[in-house]
Amino acid sequence: MNQPIAVVTGASSGIGAASARALAADGFRVFCAARRIDRLEALAAEIGGVAVRCDTTDPASVRGLVEIVGERVDLLLNNAGGAIGVDPIETADPDDWNRMYQINVAGTLRVTQGLLPAVEAAHGAMVFITSTAAETAYEGGGGYCGAKSAERYLVGSLRLELAGRPIRVCEISPGMVHTEEFSLVRLGDQAAADAVYAGVDHPLLAEDIAEAVRWIASLSEYVNIDRLVIRPRAQASNWKVARDA
């Protein structure tokens, strides 16, 4: 039997890197896609995968990924994304919002369109990493909540449009995940990023989400996980988090 193929976007760190490791451990040949090729090459060497420099906001770059991957993909993990800033609507920078929509929505669309034939050829699965930011609004989250909500509806529409075809369309919606970069990129300051997780008893780790990806990948081809919301025990909602006094 041919080795199963996985493509992971945003694989250079965090959930993407952890998922690439988990899938490789389960026997997948993983195409690790992201912008930072130095990190990808180290990861690919570690797991026996393939490093592909890809900026999902660039159509030509996505076309290059599609050509390299080939004609069959058993699992596509649309993980590339991110948040920029926590400004209120009144003062938010439209350029920040545009960037978030390009990364989380348009980039996801490009990769999905490009690799859909290969996933269908394999009777495979598309797994999308959205966010609990799509569950409900919160102050300072208008841009990111909007972008992740748009991505969620992309997933839902795709599932309806592909009904009857051999493609699973699954969504994982993580809550508070403590990775090395997400809050730092969003806030631009290490102290502010550390404060997000201060006093929280065991925020999720990237490996926790990777385990969910691995589980979905292991299921029979007729089993669809429409949406899986994963939060740490300490996080009851986006705005209610138990913290040590």
Catalytic residue positions, numbered: 144
- Please give the span between the terminal C-alpha atoms of the chain, in angstroms, as a whole number: 55
What string of H, E and C letters represents the secondary structure of 208-229? HHHHHHHHHHHCCCCCCCCCEE
Cα–Cα distances (Å) from 11 to 14, 52, 160, 167, in that order, read 8, 10, 28, 22
List the 168-174 sheet strands across, edge first: 50-53, 29-34, 5-9, 75-78, 125-129, 168-174, 228-230
Task: Dig out the tokens for 183 from the structure.
Answer: 């809050």
The C-alpha atoms of residue 63 and residue 188 are separated, in whole angstroms, by 31
The C-alpha atoms of residue 155 and residue 245 are separated, in whole angstroms, by 39
Length of the chain: 245
Distance of CA 191 to the CA centre of its chain: 25
